[in-house]
Amino acid sequence: MKRFAAIRVVLALAGLGMAAFLARGDIHRRDAIARVGRALSPFEVATLNGETQRVPARNGTIVYTVFTTWCEECRAEVAHLRHADPLLRARGVRLIAVDQGEPAPAVAAFVAREHIGYPVLLDASGRSATVLAASMVPTTVIVRDGIVLRILRGAVSASELERWSGPAR
């Protein structure tokens, strides 16, 4: 019974998030949602210290992972991301995590507890989830020179990240 209640809460929150996106109006722009082979639309997020950052960068390869701290699959994926991060950086690939809708102190505590060394950004509005086509968490989006190469839903392993991000340019 508790499981069904939790599922209803998650679905309700997802519905509220979608309603907020629809109210903003930009969800109706076909170019606002990530598609493989197309340019990624820019969006704004906050750093853990509250600074606003506009992404994406238009040069190099970036792996975005959309997550929440309460998602079991996202938490399990962190070990793979920690392992992949130095390997990707050595090839010139940047790994950036984007948390969805959680308060900065909770995310900062999670980052410290999990010893995450790659950048973690915050998105209170949920716009990044729309732009990155993250219909679920975790979702990983690989972008090279501003163009979406892959959209992967569900947890990914370090070896998958290395393979899918390809050689750095």
Position 133 pLDDT exceeds 90: yes
Render 53-104 in DSSP notation, one character per residue: EEE--SSSEEEEEEE-TT-HHHHHHHHHHHHHHHHHHHTTEEEEEEEES--H
- CA gap 92, 48 in Å, rounded: 23
pLDDT of residue 4: 52
Predicted pLDDT of residue 88: 93
> Is 22 a residue whose pLDDT tops 60?
no
Instruction: List, for residues 74-89, the tens digit of each pLDDT value.
Output: 999 999 999 999 999 9
pLDDT given at position 59: 85
DSSP 33: S
Confidence of residue 58 (pLDDT cuts 50, 70, 90): confident
Q: Is the pLDDT of residue 21 over 60?
A: no
Average pLDDT across the chain, whole number: 83
Q: Are 116 and 82 in contact (CB under 8 A)?
A: yes
The larger pLDDT score, comparing residue 54 to residue 167, is at 54
pLDDT at 26 over 50: no
pLDDT(72) > 90: yes
Class for the domain spanning 31-165:
alpha beta
- What's the pLDDT band for 160 if we cut at 50, 70, 90? confident
pTM of the model: 0.79
Q: What is the mean pLDDT of residues 118-128?
A: 94
Kindly tell me if the per-residue pLDDT of 13 is higher than 50: no
